[in-house]
Structure 1
């Protein structure tokens, strides 16, 4: 039994906390993660076809076994961390490293904080970027979804971000909005500065100085974009799962 547990721990880089979180998630919320990982079933170059089929099967059944959750976590880890490097090496990294990498990518500051707090920082950045692109009417409609015990919050961005920072139900609502906006933000190059810095670092790790030169900036950016199309929305969705569970636990 110990040998089996040790192997499992190695398989998912010790991410037992993430495994426990996903075990308590609604199957529909896990299905969103599967869509991000598999490109809605179309498959990705960095994913084996048998893995895609297994995850798609679990989604169709609306039920995830222990082994299927391990598979889901492992595949996320393969896209994570220094994303270009792991697309090439396929080694995978712990979820906490993925979160730190995504936070840096979206322009956030990494402090010595818990994974949950770093996730909230990512949500703040995603919401703020999406807010920039909203009309005044869209901003008002979005802000009205945030409520405090004493009534509606101020409709400004600062109040919305403060609500996100507090965690719980408001953060879960923000996470849903963030998940829905990621594809557009990435397509429009909202984080291009962060993408260049992270891609350059990762290319050196994955390909070496000569390989990075041969691949060229366009090739590196393409690999980075593929990876972040997975890791950014997955982290936002996991943040949603975490905050949703926290809100449910706090409900009377």
Structure 2
């Protein structure tokens, strides 16, 4: 049984696929090359287990512990007994880095998605007008009106209206970051409608995210670990909670009564049941 003490990390790591955990390990260990703040034996153990796709409870606990240590100030970690900081504190620190205001009552999932959307928006801002126009065309719009922030806002609104719910947004950003830093993308198990459209955005958004990553001022080397890890964890959390339509495999919005892709009634929807009985 996993000994992960942080509930926000436990619920994600314990339900994640081996492929997704392996991406997280590569971010933490620098693809097995090691980092100054990471013990060589821990690095070797995590990387070897990831290569074999045998990351068990003990390795998941190590992932959580190392991620929390990276995020904490070294001196403060001594006073904490070397345990690092809670994931929510790590997450709020990353959000602050991206100039995102966080409410004390916001859930961890909501904060993660706020970071995902901020990265996406900043990436669109990095695009040329021609790239924005091309993306809009691929998404079914004739053109994006405006320039600069106005054009970026219009394009983001278009992305949302096209049905890119949290899972897909998180997948696009996490995949682009993995490709930029690790040289390989995520392994998507899902097929069909669920992943439809991701290829449309992965190209231009992926290029923009790569440019954004290169230009972001990350004063502390720890951010070069915690930021991509947060983006990967955000994707993993959404992958754990996403619901699929039984008919078309499309992603269902939270509390949806019917599938927005094919109209099939969601079996566990109280609202849909009441409407059908009316």
Bucket of the pairwise TM-score, normalised by the shorter protein: 0.5 to 0.7
Higher deviation after alignment, 115-124 or 91-100? 91-100
SS at match of 1:168: helix
| Equivalent residue pairs, number | 204
Q: 1:103 aligns with which of 70, 95, 101?
A: 95
Unaligned 5+ residue runs, structure 2? Answer: 141-152, 181-205, 247-278
Q: Does 1:230 align with 2:229?
A: no
Unaligned 5+ residue runs, structure 1? Answer: 148-153, 196-220
Give the aligned partner of residue 55 of structure 2. 64
**Contact 1:130 1:185 survives alignment (8 Å):** yes
Q: Does 1:21 align with 2:4?
A: no
**Contact 1:168 1:243 survives alignment (8 Å):** yes
Give the aligned partner of residue 144 of structure 2. none
Q: Does 1:244 align with 2:239?
A: yes
Q: Does 1:135 align with 2:135?
A: no
**Contact 1:33 1:234 survives alignment (8 Å):** yes
| TM-score normalised per structure 1 | 0.68
Q: 1:185 aligns with which of 208, 212, 219?
A: 212
**Contact 2:126 2:212 survives alignment (8 Å):** no
Q: Does 1:74 align with 2:102?
A: no
Structure 1 residue 16, shift from structure 2 partner = 2.9
SS at match of 1:44: coil
CA RMSD of aligned residues (A): 3.3
Higher deviation after alignment, 237-246 or 61-70? 237-246
SS at match of 2:222: helix
Structure 1 residue 36, shift from structure 2 partner = 0.8
Q: Distance in 2 between matches of 1:162 and 1:93?
A: 37
SS at match of 2:24: helix
- Residue deviations 1:176-207 (CA, integer Å, cap 9, x gap): 3355466643431x3x4xx5xxxxxxxxxxxx
**Structure with the larger helix share:** 1
**Contact 1:126 1:178 survives alignment (8 Å):** no
Distance 1:137 1:161, change over 3 A: same
Q: Distance in 2 between matches of 1:178 and 1:142?
A: 19
SS at match of 2:33: coil
- Residue deviations 1:58-82 (CA, integer Å, cap 9, x gap): 1111121100000011000011155
Structure 1 residue 241, shift from structure 2 partner = 0.9
Structure (1 or 2) with the larger CA radius of gyration: 2
